[in-house]
């Protein structure tokens, strides 16, 4: 069986997940992905699974072609974000690819790694230019140019060989590709060091906007050096180009404002209190999960606001229950 046939067979076997991801992508192009449990995939095809870790780019291309083959429909496809662009996200890597942050070495560069980390910095979500089509203002030729992270690449015009730059090009909408992008800084979980090693994690696509500071997450991604234009010394800075993210909770960070969250919390506590809270109080766990479910708010955020409201004297907490005064 060819590699393509093997991927097709795997997609057939997990067609419920694959179809659901495809439908989500068709609804919101750019806003979905297909998660694949690596260990499950390994049992199906150990050779391809190992190659996915060692040469992630070639396997990502293979997934992309097989998704296109399976789902492409020229009549209904989104031209800017066809199904072949849907990320296939590997989770649950084997021990040989799992590391603490301090354990990553030069030999792991370019391979997939899985690192359990704590988030210490979160930047805003911005569009990232993945592919630019530059119109040469000298001759009118269109120049599709793949972009990396960091500085914009222009290249040389394929029409007149002019060296392209900001001044002699214009960015064409057709063919230009943008994706959501977010940068995190993470450290090892439970580090005993005062100044623990940190690394940047770059997120793209539907995994942006999911985490907040102090979240404990597991990142699967390609361990890479930053582009040369972003380096200052021969001792190179590295980052993790995230392919998948496991957060305990998958809700959006900051779904409600503090005021909205406080109002929802106080309202719910009032309600539960008048139902049957007066005997033992209202269990904090119940409040956290109810608010989390009703409003799609991350549990850590609810916990923080409950503590803040207690500090404000809104209510008292006694052995895991909220007591209204």
Residue count at the site for Zn ion (CB under 5 A)? 8
In sequence order, the β-bridge partners of residue 131 are: 146, 177
Stretch that binds Zn ion, among 75-83, 155-163, 194-202, 283-291 (CB under 5 A): 155-163
Nearer to Zn ion, 141 or 236 (CB): 141
Q: What does the alpha-carbon distance between residue 247 and residue 303 come to, in Å, rounded to a whole number?
A: 16
**Which residue of 159, 196, 209, 254 would you call a contact of Zn ion, by CB under 5 A?**
159
Query: Is 136 an interacting residue with respect to Zn ion (CB under 5 A)?
Result: yes
Nearer to Zn ion, 96 or 166 (CB): 166
Query: Is 254 an interacting residue with respect to Zn ion (CB under 5 A)?
Result: no
Nearest distance from residue 139's CB to Zn ion, in Å?
A: 3
Query: Is 155 an interacting residue with respect to Zn ion (CB under 5 A)?
Result: no
Query: Is 160 an interacting residue with respect to Zn ion (CB under 5 A)?
Result: yes
Nearer to Zn ion, 4 or 160 (CB): 160
Nearer to Zn ion, 154 or 223 (CB): 154
Query: Is 138 an interacting residue with respect to Zn ion (CB under 5 A)?
Result: yes
Query: Is 137 an interacting residue with respect to Zn ion (CB under 5 A)?
Result: no
Query: Is 144 an interacting residue with respect to Zn ion (CB under 5 A)?
Result: no
Nearest distance from residue 132's CB to Zn ion, in Å?
A: 15
Q: What does the alpha-carbon distance between residue 18 and residue 189 come to, in Å, rounded to a whole number?
A: 33
Nearest distance from residue 163's CB to Zn ion, in Å?
A: 10
Nearer to Zn ion, 119 or 136 (CB): 136
**Which residue of 26, 98, 109, 141 would you call a contact of Zn ion, by CB under 5 A?**
141
Nearer to Zn ion, 138 or 262 (CB): 138
Nearer to Zn ion, 125 or 139 (CB): 139
Q: What does the alpha-carbon distance between residue 319 and residue 275 come to, in Å, rounded to a whole number?
A: 19
**Which residue of 21, 59, 132, 157 would you call a contact of Zn ion, by CB under 5 A?**
157
Stretch that binds Zn ion, among 93-101, 121-129, 131-139, 144-152 (CB under 5 A): 131-139
Question: Which residues are at the interface with Zn ion (CB under 5 A)?
Answer: 136, 138-139, 141, 157, 159-160, 162
């Amino acid at each position: 069986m060819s590699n393509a046939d093997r991927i097709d067979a795997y997609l057939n076997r997990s067609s419920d997940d694959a179809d659901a991801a495809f439908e989500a992508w068709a609804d919101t192009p750019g806003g979905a992905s297909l998660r694949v449990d690596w260990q499950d995939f390994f049992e199906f095809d150990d050779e391809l699974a190992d190659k996915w870790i060692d040469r992630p780019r070639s396997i990502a291309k293979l997934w992309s072609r097989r998704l296109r083959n399976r789902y492409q429909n020229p009549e209904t496809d989104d031209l800017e974000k066809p199904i072949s662009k849907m990320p296939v996200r590997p989770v649950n890597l084997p021990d040989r690819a799992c590391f603490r942050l301090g354990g990553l070495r030069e030999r792991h560069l370019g391979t997939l790694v899985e690192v359990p980390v704590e988030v210490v910095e979160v930047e805003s979500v911005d569009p990232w230019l993945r592919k630019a089509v530059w119109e040469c203002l000298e001759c009118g030729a269109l120049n599709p140019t793949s972009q990396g992270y960091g500085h914009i690449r222009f290249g040389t015009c394929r029409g007149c060989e002019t060296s392209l730059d900001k001044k002699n090009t214009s960015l064409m909408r057709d063919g230009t590709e943008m994706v959501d992008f977010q940068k995190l800084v993470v450290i090892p979980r439970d580090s005993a060091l005062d100044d623990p090693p940190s690394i940047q994690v770059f997120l793209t696509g539907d995994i942006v906007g999911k985490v907040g500071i102090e979240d404990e997450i597991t990142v699967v991604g390609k361990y890479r050096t930053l582009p040369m234009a972003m380096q200052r010394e021969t001792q190179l800075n590295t980052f993790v180009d995230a392919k998948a993210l496991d957060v305990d909770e998958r809700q959006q960070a900051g779904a409600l404002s503090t005021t909205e969250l406080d109002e929802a919390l106080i309202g719910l506590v009032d309600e539960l209190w008048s139902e049957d809270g007066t005997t033992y109080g209202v269990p904090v766990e119940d409040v956290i999960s109810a608010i989390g479910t009703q409003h799609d708010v991350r549990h850590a955020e609810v916990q923080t606001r409950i503590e803040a409201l207690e500090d404000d004297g809104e209510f008292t907490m006694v052995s895991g229950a909220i007591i209204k005064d």
